[in-house]
Amino acid sequence: MPQYQNIVILTGAGISAESGLATFRSSNGLWNNHPVEDVATVEGFQRNPAYVHAFYNELKQELVKAQPNPAHLALTRLQNEYPARISIVTQNVDTLHEKAGSRNIYHIHGQINQAVCQNCGQILETFGDVDTETVCPHCQIMGMMKPNIVFFGENLLCMDEVDRLLRTCDLFLSVGTSGVVFPAAAFVQIAKLNGAETVEFNLEPTSNNYYFDRHIFGKAGSTLPAFIDDLITNR
């Protein structure tokens, strides 16, 4: 019997930093030249959908080139070599967990390679451009596509399943997230109060650290593979 049966890993922008992607709250963060109210809110999208589409089309071109780093690959190794249910709940809209070959991935903030039709709800999967003239392949209506990114003011995706996983996990890892954006910032609390062991991986202490049993400081590309090696060896 392995030590853990149900492992949940919450990932944030920090896990993709070593793949060359800027984190949100760093000085050269993704929103630096774009006010968050313009590119990541429902009102911003209603005000100027063409501008918001252009922002995500450009970001898509950057994200499509990025490659997974040892932290993403370590999670895939864990899924392949540790006999437990292992779920990755990511706040990241990049697709580096998929590129690393991971499975059971829950994109609670959406994903860059998807757009959703606001008329019929159909998801369009594409790494190509989407704009105000894109026609929904399902309902054939033009101009109703929205990047499938959860804007401030919108509900997170997959939350019923994620909530169930958090309440039943026995090990919760948080990797590269500042823990300031709710509700994801409260996931550690749910896991801990339901009996999970909790470990945080970050460069530095975060403001949201009360419910973590352990903190492992350093770059996730080094700390996470070492931790996972140990888990697999001592399972």
Closest separation between CB of residue 132 and ligand OAD, Å? 21
If the CB atoms of residues 125 and 204 are measured against ligand OAD, the closer one turns out to be 204
Closest separation between CB of residue 56 and ligand OAD, Å? 10
d(CA 104, CA 19): 21
If the CB atoms of residues 20 and 121 are measured against ligand OAD, the closer one turns out to be 20
Closest separation between CB of residue 140 and ligand OAD, Å? 29
d(CA 57, CA 132): 12
Taking CB atoms, the residue at the shortest distance from ligand OAD is 14
Q: How many residues does the chain have?
A: 235
The residues binding ligand OAD (CB under 6 A) are: 12-14, 17-18, 23-25, 91, 93, 109, 149-150, 176-178, 181, 201-204, 206, 219-220
**83: its two tokens:** 């006999």
**Exposure of 60 in the CB half-sphere (CA atoms within 13 A):** 22
If the CB atoms of residues 156 and 169 are measured against ligand OAD, the closer one turns out to be 156
**Phi and psi dihedrals of 117, rounded to 5?**
-80, 125
**105: its two tokens:** 């991935």
Q: Are 176 and 10 in contact (CB under 8 A)?
A: no
**Active-site amino acid positions:** 109
If the CB atoms of residues 4 and 24 are measured against ligand OAD, the closer one turns out to be 24
What are the contacts of 117-123 at 24+ separation with CB within 8 A? 117/141, 117/144, 117/145, 117/146, 118/144, 118/145, 118/146, 119/144, 123/148
Closest separation between CB of residue 185 and ligand OAD, Å? 8
